A and B are shown apart, each in its own frame.
Chain A
């Protein structure tokens, strides 16, 4: 074994031992769903003490943001170590102690584009789950055509004045801060007049209105900005260069959404899962054939996520290929949930039935191929940037 490999194996043993004692038994091996996610934030209320204790210990250990620098509250470990950490958490049935848009999206963007002051101010509260962020990208007229954002930020000297509207802002009504794309130059070509701005949701003039989803839940909102004053220092990177940050952040978001597809069954096979729904479910030749094909694709996709993580680690980045990971992972996830619904039959049709909240989860997966850029947009990105096919 090389030293690098033995170092990783030592880490695996060490972290497994730590998880086994640090993660309260009550949290272990509980089926994971959206309601059990710990998002953090000023107004966060834990389900129980176990969740709080687990988060506190994870913060001390620096594993809420495993790869961020230690000075900003991260764990300072490599991707390879992070992978082992996640594998051991899955194996031991430990849930993620904290998840958030700050961890997934804003953090990586600030690390790449933020000033030292911005990093020092905003990153540590993210790792401690103290500040919850939401993402203000989409607008009524700017969905797939994101660069068409119209929310205006006027330069008023010591501050910007914001007016406009965002839509589909996930958890805006529960978030403490928002990172948003705003138009700072209305004359420039549309990609060149956008800036990346951070705003406290408590600023006067910001209001939200929840929107209900087909799953019955209401995780997203319309967000309105009415003469909101935002200090200059909250602009990230250079003025009018926000599109680069927006795209960089999207590659992280897409990799994350695509990767969500493999976590679903906690590493168990789809067939075993279906078998548990009912002994004879797999006797149906159509379900069986589709389950086999889905299992084949799921395993190969998980390997692809690993391969691309290794590539990113090796320094060549994931870049535009994140569009492929997002496209493939989300379409696969939808396929798997359709299969689960078919296999569970009428048992799956109640909002909360014998299989728990399968129906709302199934409906939620339909958004996977829309949020963070639709499948069609992902295919466009692959065609144009990876395959270099010509424009119209």
Chain B
């Protein structure tokens, strides 16, 4: 496999992303979004699309930049550092991967729309408080030439703002079975679909979606009926790897802020960073961050090189990143003392996004169990 070190091109991509995000999407921008009650800034997404980020996983024939999963991970990582809010994961990673696997003229057009920054997507999978696609109960019953969708999805990332929704519905079988699920691609304004924004701690867009006899045509069905997992598995894995990268970036962002504070804040006549009790905790955190960075790079490489065999690599990355981000934000808040508890300070934004990222697309236990299964126990 290609080395886990960044290639020269990757270093350039990382530097460019960092420069752009530092000036265009600092934590202050997330704060402004929150205070102004919007999920993300459309101008920011337009700029990202112009740089090819929206098309990072989209073929050039559909107007994409087709840079691959490692590149998507690098972008997601840098977005994590500044907590940049955008439809990147939902649209450019998850929906793009789904549609790419779906193929066909319609998917091609949809991909072109994403790459151009004109169309955004949300993936509606989960119905309960834990990630469990195969437990989907939302039903798609045959009605004439098409389907009628009834049920509810919760914790749908970008669900309130997206223009289109990929919804996982049951066409046969019973909840708990992976077989019998189908994936539909519908516009978010369709009659019978109501979207209720959830006021989540990370100030990002998450929504509950209620489907009350929403009509879908055979054309809206992506891939084969009863076989959603063929499209969804690679899409979820791409999303999990990129989310893991975002969490690793988030850990890096709060760690840098914390180290800065350790070097600046004085108590007992010395900088607090000179206390060994804090030094060792900061050093331990850095060690965890480095070990996680390897798992993130590895997941990107494996998705690019052997995508059909990526479950272990992806779950390893998501498990590690979840724990590392958790450690980084807990240590970050604690080492800032009282100031870290205030809303005026940025540290809290990192903690809240880390908690949401920990749950989205599978928590630590979910992914550790997949690692264990892949390793034969």
A133 in contact (CB, < 8 A): no
Given A269, A282, A303, A389, which contacts B263 in the complex, CB threshold below 8 Å? A389
Q: Knowing A310-B4, A376-B280, A383-B279 touch, does A324 contact B377 (C-beta < 8 A)?
A: no
Q: Determine whether the beta carbon of A383 is less than 8 Å from that of B282.
A: yes
Contact with A along B63-106 (1 / 0, CB 8 A): 00000000000000000000000000000000000000000000
Binds B, one of A120-128, A226-234, A237-245, A271-279: A271-279
CB neighbours (8 Å) of B270 from chain A are: 390, 392
- Could you say which residues of chain A place their CB within 8 Å of the CB of B279? 379-380, 383-384, 387, 389
Whether A324 pairs with B294 at a CB distance below 8 angstroms is: no
- Segment at the A interface, from B146-154, B209-217, B368-376: B368-376
Whether, in the assembled complex, B120 has its beta carbon less than 8 Å from a beta carbon of chain A, the answer is no
Per a CB cutoff under 8 Å, which of B259, B276, B295, B368 touches A293? B368
> CB within 8 Å of B: which of A289-303?
289, 291-293, 295-297, 299-301, 303
- Chain A residues near B259: list those with CB within 8 A: 387, 389
Chain A stretch 28-59: residues in CB contact (< 8 A) with chain B: none
Chain B: interface residue total (CB-CB under 8 A): 38
Structural contact, B283 and A382, CB atoms closer than 8 A: yes
Give the residues from 276 to 299 in chain B that come closer than 8 angstroms, CB to CB, to chain A: 276, 278-280, 282-284, 286-287, 290-295, 297-298
CA distance A293 to B375 in the complex (A): 12
* Bound Cα distance from A300 to B294, whole angstroms: 6
B319 at the interface (CB under 8 A from A): yes
A389 and B372 alpha carbons, distance in the complex (Å): 38
Q: Provide the A12-24 mask, 1 if CB < 8 A to any CB of B, else 0.
A: 0000000000000
Q: Is the CB of B282 within 8 A of A271?
A: no
Determine how close the nearest CB of chain A comes to the CB of B240; give it in whole angstroms: 14
B273 at the interface (CB under 8 A from A): yes
| A295 to B373 alpha-carbon distance, docked (Å) | 11
Q: Are B287 and A328 in contact (CB under 8 A)?
A: yes
Contact call B376/A272, Cβ cutoff below 8 A? yes
Question: A292-B369, A324-B286 are contacts. A307–B377 as well, Cβ < 8 Å?
Answer: no
A contact residues around B290 at 8 Å (CB): 304, 321, 324
* Bound complex: CA A269 to CA B280 (Å): 30
Given contact pairs A271-B375, A306-B294, A380-B279, A296 touches B319 in the complex (Cβ within 8 A): yes
Kindly state the separation between the CA atoms of A378 and B283 in the bound complex, as whole angstroms: 9
The listed residue with most A CB atoms (<10 A of its CB), out of B274, B276, B372, is B372
Distance A275 CA – B372 CA, assembled complex (angstroms): 12
Please tell me if the beta carbons of A387 and B316 are within 8 angstroms of each other in the complex. no
Interface assignment of A189: CB less than 8 Å from any CB of chain B = no
Q: Is A314 part of the contact surface with B, judged by Cβ < 8 Å?
A: yes
C-alpha gap A301/B263 in the complex (Å): 29
Cβ-based interface call for A216 (8 A): no
The answer to whether B262 touches A303, judged by C-beta atoms less than 8 angstroms apart, is: no
Closest residue to A310 on the B side, CB-wise? B3
Q: Let me know if B283 and A383 touch, CB within 8 A.
A: yes
Q: Which residues of B contact A292 (CB under 8 A)?
A: 368-369, 371-372
* Those of B345-377 within 8 Å (CB) of chain A: 368-369, 371-372, 375-377
- Contact status of A390 and B319, CB under 8 A, knowing A269-B375, A301-B291, A382-B283: no
Q: Which residues of A contact B294 (CB under 8 A)?
A: 300-301, 303-304, 306-307
Nearest neighbor of B280 in chain A, beta-carbon distance = A379
CB-CB under 8 A for A299 and B263, given A269-B375, A269-B376, A292-B369? no
Give 4 new A-B contacts, CB below 8 A, not counting A291-B372, A306-B4, A389-B259: A296-B371, A321-B290, A376-B280, A389-B274
A positions within 8 Å CB-CB of B: 269-272, 274-275, 282, 288-289, 291-293, 295-297, 299-301, 303-304, 306-307, 310-311, 314, 321, 324, 327-328, 376, 378-380, 382-384, 386-392
Q: Which 4 A-B pairs have the closest CB atoms?
A: A271-B377, A383-B279, A382-B283, A269-B375
